[in-house]
Amino acid sequence: MTEDFVLDDKYVIPKDESVNFMAADMDWDPKVWEDPMGFQPERFLNDHDRDFDITGSREIKMMPFGAGRRICPGFGLAMLHLEYFVANLVWNFKWKAVDGDENPLQAFLSPRIR
């Protein structure tokens, strides 16, 4: 802090003190997330491009790998393992659309030069 700061008219944070927070508190905040402890992976999709952000680079709401200079050094490895995990799910199981699904998945194949 560059100067003394009073938080909520109760707590004084003196000048030159460090302030830390738990990232998990942000992840579990019901003001930010509807049913924060519920398993709802679709909450991470955004509306315009259906992409997701787990790095906190667009809007910090959840930081499973941290952010900025202190981002987890294992982030790339974790993402690689997730890709292999999903690839193995696709390879080893039979998949079909849910009965009554109006938008079944479609594959678009295109040739590539190796």
Provide the domain count of the chain.
1
SS3 105: coil
Q: In a structure prediction context, what are the per-residue pLDDT tens digits for the chain, which is 114 residues long?
A: 688 888 888 888 888 888 777 767 777 888 877 888 899 877 766 666 556 655 555 566 667 787 777 788 998 899 899 999 999 999 999 887 778 777 766 777 788 787
Instruction: Consult the annotation and say whether 72 binds a ligand.
Output: yes
pLDDT of residue 7: 84
Q: Which two tokens stand for residue 106?
A: 């479609």
Residue 31 and residue 80: Cα distance in Å, rounded? Answer: 32
pTM, to two decimals: 0.42
pLDDT of residue 84: 94
SS3 content of the chain, % helix, strand, coil (to 5): 25, 5, 65
In a domain, 69, yes or no: yes
pLDDT of residue 49: 59
Angle at the Cα of 59 (from 69 to 1), degrees rounded to 5?
55
Residue 71 belongs to domain spanning: 5-92
SS3 6: strand
Q: Enumerate the H helices of 8-70 as residue ranges.
A: 23-27
Task: Report in angstroms the alpha-carbon separations of 54 from 8, 63, 111.
Answer: 31, 6, 31
